[in-house]
Amino acid sequence: MTDNPDIDVVNRELTGKSAQEIILWAHRQFGDKMGMLSSMQRTASAITHILYSLGLTDTEIMFIDTQYHFQETLELRDELIRKYGVNIKTYYPETTPEEQFYEYGKELYLRDGDYQICCRLRKEQPYLKASERFDALLSGLMRSEGGARKNVQPVLYDSRNHVYKIHPILEWTMDEVDAYNREHQVPVHSLHHQGYTSIGCWTCTTPIREGEDERAGRWRHVRDSNPSAGQKLYCGINLVDLMNKKN
């Protein structure tokens, strides 16, 4: 790795660059200390294929198994490994769902004020621990997702784990993601074809209805029981969501 980059300078230089150019810059800058964070959604499928097309299949792709994932999520993980030979490694929370229920005496994912604890225990903490060996991680956030992500920059420094987050497809739209995956015949999550536009844990994910925002299916039960929680809720694994959660 070279000297730590000047974020402002790098973001000016990388603005308007292609996803491939941004990933190659990150690999030159961070070498084998560059990894990828994958949620197994359409955006992650596209970036995984870009790594494959660039010959960077040794890059570790970090997948956090919350132990509440849809079976289809785990099946996609395994299919990407088989098809592209990519280096996906799975990490787990310190406690099982059963141990978590015993400790708190309730299902934390059911209501506002509790679901954030569940996300912290099952997503954020294992992510922060697993990411300690990296200097940079690729991520699939896009400005077109709106809300907290509409101002995302190519590079962001996450002070929680001292890792640079790299956003190679920040200027893409979901239509462009879908077009890329179709063109290259990239495996995508099968639930995307059943109305699940944004997929997390099965406990907190539903299909969207006609005319709804693409993230409307995430924590729907929390918004329905507490409308003041807002329309866009996040798990906290991405710093940009925490920094701009009121936007």
SS3 of 13-76: the string is: HHCCCCHHHHHHHHHHHHHHHEEEEECCCHHHHHHHHHHHHCCCCCCEEEEECCCCECHHHHHH
Residue 91, both tokens: 């990490």
What is the mean pLDDT for each group of 10 consecutive residues in the chain (247 residues)? 79 96 97 96 97 98 97 98 98 97 96 92 94 95 82 90 95 96 98 94 95 89 77 66 49
Residue 230 pLDDT: 57
Residue 119, domain member (yes or no)? yes
Query: Does residue 119 carry a catalytic annotation?
Result: no
Structural domains in the chain (count)? 1
Query: Does the residue 81 lie in any domain?
Result: yes
Identify whether the C-beta of residue 203 lies closer than 8 Å to the C-beta of residue 68.
Answer: yes
Residue position matching structure tokens 């994912």: 109
Please give the pLDDT value at position 246.
42
- Residue 134 resides in a domain: yes
Nearest to 29, CA basis, from 162, 170, 155, 172: 155
pLDDT at residue number 191: 96
Which residue is listed with tokens 């708190």?
104
Residue by residue, what is the 3-state secondary structure of 149-183? Answer: HCCCCCEEEECCCCEEEECCCCCCCHHHHHHHHHH
What is the CATH classification number for the domain harbouring 87?
A: 3.40.50.620
Record the pTM.
0.91
In a domain, residue 110? The reply is yes
Q: Assess contact for 142 and 173: CB atoms under 8 A.
A: yes
Q: Distance between CA 244 and CA 106 in Å, rounded?
A: 29
Range of the domain at 151: 7-243
For residue 158, how many C-alpha atoms fall within 13 Å in the half-sphere facing its CB? 27
Output the six-digit token pair for 57: 């299949």
What confidence score (pLDDT) does residue 43 get? 96
pLDDT attached to residue 160: 87
Is 219 in a helix, a strand, or coil? coil
> Annotated catalytic residue: which of 118, 119, 201, 235?
235
